[in-house]
Amino acid sequence: MTDRTGAEPAAGKLFWSRRISLTARILALNIIALALMAGSLFYLDSLRKQLIAERFKLARSEVEITADALAEAREAQRRPLLVRIAREQDLRLRLYDARGDLIADTFVIAEPAFGFVDPAREPWYQHAARALDRAVDFLVTAPRVENYREPPSTNADAWPEIATARMAGRSVVRLRHAPDRTPVINAATPVGVRGEMLLSSRNPRDVTQAIRDARQTLFIVVVVALVLSIQLSLFLARTIVQPLRTLVRAAVRVRLGRDREVVVPRLPERGDEIGLLARAFSDTVSALRQRIDAGESFTADVSHELKNPLASLRSALESLGKVNDPALREELQAIATHDVQRIDRLISEISDASRIDAELSRARFEPVDLALLALRLVSERDSRRAAVGPRVVMAANGPALIRGDAARLERVIDNLIDNALSFSPPAATVTVEVGGSNGRVALTVTDEGPGVAPDLRETVFERFHSVRPASEAFGKHSGLGLAIARTIVEAHDGTLRIGDRPDGRPGAHLVAGFPAL
């Protein structure tokens, strides 16, 4: 939108997206939100690390407590104690002597407390879960975890964590992956003072399963949300982009000069900004067509109006050289002079009429007291009025403020008064009145002439239309006065119409209405 000064509000410039289509922007914004949601997958990896850390602490505590119990137990109680603890805690416990030889293994002396899952026998979604585990590990650059393998030797040296625990004299915990990528936590610690070592093994599948379940649920939610978001984004894009493309095609055809063939959609069913844009564009095209029609009509009228005095002038000049009669020569010279004056007056009026629209579009509208303006013009006319002829009087009902261009409003008042005087008898009175009510200001000019027939009350505002009194000399008026007055009034968001006198007497009653300030 622009104000009367032509200023436009600053528009935001999106340099980063000016080459990207609107559909792509809508999709990108929705997918970015989903990508942020998918980022919670990395939070789940952080949660997995926390759970593993807690299990490390548990494994260390369990192996140290078991080692203390073994150090206090008699030799005959050790194996039953290991079996009971392994069964209750779902552990595999192995006890080694000072030389590293295996003394007891709960998986050998009793039923195994747990067993590794064979991936080949698992359903497809577990394979997908493991693939997702690897993808997340790759994305978060997780450290590589070696696979769990039973060493071929039963000696304690086959386990690096036992060697480290023996050297450090404290418990050591280490993580490996089972064949199905679930964690295997080994914890090694010294037992007593005889150099014995205890190794515990646990396969906490619940940790991996909990993370996988959460990931799978989140992954399904993200995929479903992505599909719905894409569909909704495409729907939104269609509701925005398609009508815009239709308007763009219409605009291009108008620009190429085929505006007569274009039917600009008004989208009356849409009450949003797209509908407002469509209707504004349709109105703009209609106004453009009217401007073109008016320009073509104006050009044709100008050509016609100039041809008549030019033809008369040419005829007078051609005849002037062939006539010897002084009286006839004088008459021809008078005709030529009159035609020149008429052409000059026409050119001045045409030039003024053609500049009005452009000048008004650049004009700065300011508060104007229409009553004071009319009173000043009427007073100036009264001061230079001839002794005979119609007189102009002013009736005002107080200040009447409107927003407009004072110079152009003066032109309106002058044109209306000139029109009224031209139709008034010598002893008549032209009354100018200004008043306001109900948010409107009305300027009325009333004469005592013959009035205007109802079927001609719109025609008189057309350019070059002139129905003059019989007593008036031909060519004295251009027929542009009322047309110029209406153009100026409408540029001020006003109206100009003509009717009968309110008192019923003969004469014309012109009313120019404006929005009050």
Domain ranges of the chain: 38-215, 264-362, 364-517
Q: Name the class of domain 364-517.
A: alpha beta
Q: Quick check: 189 and 172 in contact, CB under 8 A?
A: yes
Measured CA to CA in angstroms, residue 449 lies from 29, 76, 147, 357, 425 at distances of: 71, 140, 113, 31, 7
Distance CA(183)–CA(210), nearest Å, equals: 13
So what's the pLDDT on residue 254? Answer: 77
So what's the pLDDT on residue 262? Answer: 67
What kind of architecture, by CATH, is found in domain 264-362? Orthogonal Bundle (1.10)
So what's the pLDDT on residue 356? Answer: 73
Contacts for 299-305: CB closer than 8 Å, 24+ residues apart = 301/463, 301/464, 302/346, 302/350, 302/464, 304/464, 305/346, 305/464, 305/478, 305/479
So what's the pLDDT on residue 165? Answer: 95
Query: Could you write out the DSSP letters of every residue in 321-343?
Result: TT---HHHHHHHHHHHHHHHHHH
So what's the pLDDT on residue 15? Answer: 46
**Fold for the domain defined by 38-215:** Beta-Lactamase (3.30.450)
Q: How far is CA 250 from the centre of its chain?
A: 20
> For residue 272, how many other CB atoms are within 10 A of its CB?
10
Q: Quick check: 216 and 88 in contact, CB under 8 A?
A: no
Contacts for 71-75: CB closer than 8 Å, 24+ residues apart = 71/191, 71/192, 71/193
Buried b (16+ CB within 10 A) or exposed e, 169-180: eebbbbbbbbeb
Buried b (16+ CB within 10 A) or exposed e, 364-400: ebeebbbbebbbebbeebeeeeeeeebbbebebeeeb
Token couple for 33: 């939100």
So what's the pLDDT on residue 14? Answer: 47
SS3 state at 453: coil
So what's the pLDDT on residue 40? Answer: 63
- Walking along the chain (517 residues) 10 residues at a time, the average pLDDT comes out as 45 50 68 65 74 94 95 92 94 95 95 93 88 82 91 93 94 95 96 93 91 78 78 76 81 71 76 81 78 68 68 79 80 80 73 69 86 90 74 80 90 90 87 89 92 86 63 53 87 91 90 92
